[in-house]
Amino acid sequence: MKKKVIISLITFFFVLQAKAQCAMCRAVLESGEDQTAAEGINDGIMFLMAVPYILVATIGYIVYRTYNKSKKVENSDQIV
């Protein structure tokens, strides 16, 4: 259990440091003097990338909860 928590924390902190720009976008945006546009594009890409992961995690949690709920009902029927 401890190992899973540590791996999860390390993974979380590496994801925070990730830069999400492709090579072409980075080259075009770095050539200009206005770096706020580059930061805005990077934040937008990170936001768009996070939404699918949140949806998959939510669906996974719902499936997990449903599976455990049906397992509890099945076990309670066997006890009686």
Asked if the structure places residue 10 within a domain, the reply is: no
Asked if the structure places residue 75 within a domain, the reply is: yes
Asked if the structure places residue 14 within a domain, the reply is: no
pLDDT given at position 27: 73
Mean pLDDT along residues 15-34 = 66
Q: Does the pTM of the predicted model rise above 0.75?
A: no
Domain range for 30 is 20-79
Mean pLDDT along residues 41-65 = 89
Q: Is the dihedral of CA 45, 51, 56, 57 positive or negative?
A: positive
Asked if the structure places residue 37 within a domain, the reply is: yes
Which residues contact residue 37 at a Cβ distance below 8 angstroms, ignoring those fewer than 6 apart? 29
Asked if the structure places residue 3 within a domain, the reply is: no
State the total domains in the chain.
Answer: 1
Q: For residues 78 and 49, what is the distance between their CA atoms, to the nearest angstrom?
A: 45
Does residue 63 have a pLDDT over 90? yes
pLDDT given at position 62: 94
Asked if the structure places residue 72 within a domain, the reply is: yes
H/E element holding 27?
A: helix 23-31
Q: For residues 42 and 26, what is the distance between their CA atoms, to the nearest angstrom?
A: 9
